[in-house]
Amino acid sequence: MDDDDKIRRNLVVTSAVIIGVAWFDVSLPDVLERLFSIKSQAGTPGAVVQLSTWKVWVAALVVLGYMSWRYRWSDEVEQATRLFTESVVSRYKKLFGDVYMTDVTKWFQSGAFPADVHPQLSAAYAQLVPHTLAQQLGRGPEKVTFTGPMPAINQGNHMMTMTAEWLPGGGGVYVNQQQVNIYIDTRRLKSMIWSARRFALANSKSSMSLVWPVVIAGSATVVVLYKLGRAVFG
């Protein structure tokens, strides 16, 4: 019954039964008495044992807790967590390149930065577009591009190859390529991490093994605690 390949099924079925009992307003002790044909061991032969309601809900809570704990440390959850993390990192890398670095190139091209960007970006800009060079050419770069692998999720800086190009004009053609440290501020970092997680939750198969059992078991736990409270305190 508790084999690794049946852990999730057992948890979901048990949780669904508990939720169903509450939804249809069925007495769980009555269900157990009929399901297991519980009879008294003493007294009138064949008399059905009157199960204590609060004890039944305590037992349900213990069973649900054990199944949740068993599922939490199962191989399925371990593998699903690893795949989910990989999906989040992959999505974050895409957001870093498609969203953040696109904004960075625009800021570097215009020379104007929002007030809430990481302060170290100005140092990277000064390295790529030196003030004396901009003065000599009479303008900022017409084009700024970047190359290099996207970073994994982290709080630090990331080395990128940035290229600033001054296209043909009064100042001539000039290209400056530098290895610069690109920093990201905490607000944008957290926003992209949460966006990556939301995307992975909605678009990765591994999230099904993590989210729905947790949602169903969590709902069942709330039901059990509510019923137990009603049974104890009236």
Q: Is the pLDDT of residue 215 over 90?
A: yes
User: Mean pLDDT over residues 1-16, rounded?
Assistant: 80
**Assigned domain for 147 exists:** yes
Per-residue pLDDT, 116: 92
179 and 103 together in one domain: yes
56 and 15 together in one domain: yes
Q: Is the pLDDT of residue 46 over 70?
A: no
**Assigned domain for 201 exists:** no
pLDDT confidence band for 209 (50 / 70 / 90): confident
61 and 115 together in one domain: no
51 and 125 together in one domain: no
Per-residue pLDDT, 99: 94
182 and 117 together in one domain: yes
Q: Is the pLDDT of residue 40 over 50?
A: no
Label residue 104 exposed, middle or buried (CB < 10 Å: 0-12, 13-18, 19+).
Answer: buried
Of 88-92, 135-139, 168-172, least confident by mean pLDDT is: 168-172
pLDDT confidence band for 189 (50 / 70 / 90): very high
More confident residue, 89 or 133: 89
Per-residue pLDDT, 157: 76
Per-residue pLDDT, 15: 93
**Assigned domain for 74 exists:** yes
Per-residue pLDDT, 138: 78
Does the predicted TM-score (pTM) go above 0.85? Answer: no
30 and 105 together in one domain: no
13 and 57 together in one domain: yes
**Assigned domain for 42 exists:** yes
Instruction: Give residue-wise pLDDT tens across range 90-106.
Output: 999 999 999 999 999 99
Q: Give the number of domains in the chain.
A: 2
More confident residue, 170 or 229: 229
**Assigned domain for 19 exists:** yes
Average pLDDT of every residue of the chain: 85
Q: Domain range spanning residue 96?
A: 92-192
**Assigned domain for 199 exists:** no
**Assigned domain for 141 exists:** yes
Distance CA 224, CA 36 (A): 20
Q: Residue 185: what are its φ and ψ, rounded to 5°?
A: -75, 160
pLDDT confidence band for 33 (50 / 70 / 90): low
User: Mean pLDDT over residues 148-152, rounded?
Assistant: 84
Distance CA 133, CA 137 (A): 6
pLDDT confidence band for 23 (50 / 70 / 90): confident
Instruction: Give residue-wise pLDDT tens across range 137-146.
Output: 778 888 999 9
For 147-161, the DSSP string reads ESPPPPS-SS-EEEE
How much of the chain exceeds pLDDT 90, in percent?
Answer: 47
**Assigned domain for 197 exists:** no
Per-residue pLDDT, 2: 56
How far CA 210 is from CA of 45, 139, 160, 175, in Å, comes to 48, 53, 35, 50
More confident residue, 36 or 119: 119
100 and 151 together in one domain: yes
More confident residue, 104 or 38: 104
Q: Give the tokens for residue 132.
A: 């004396």
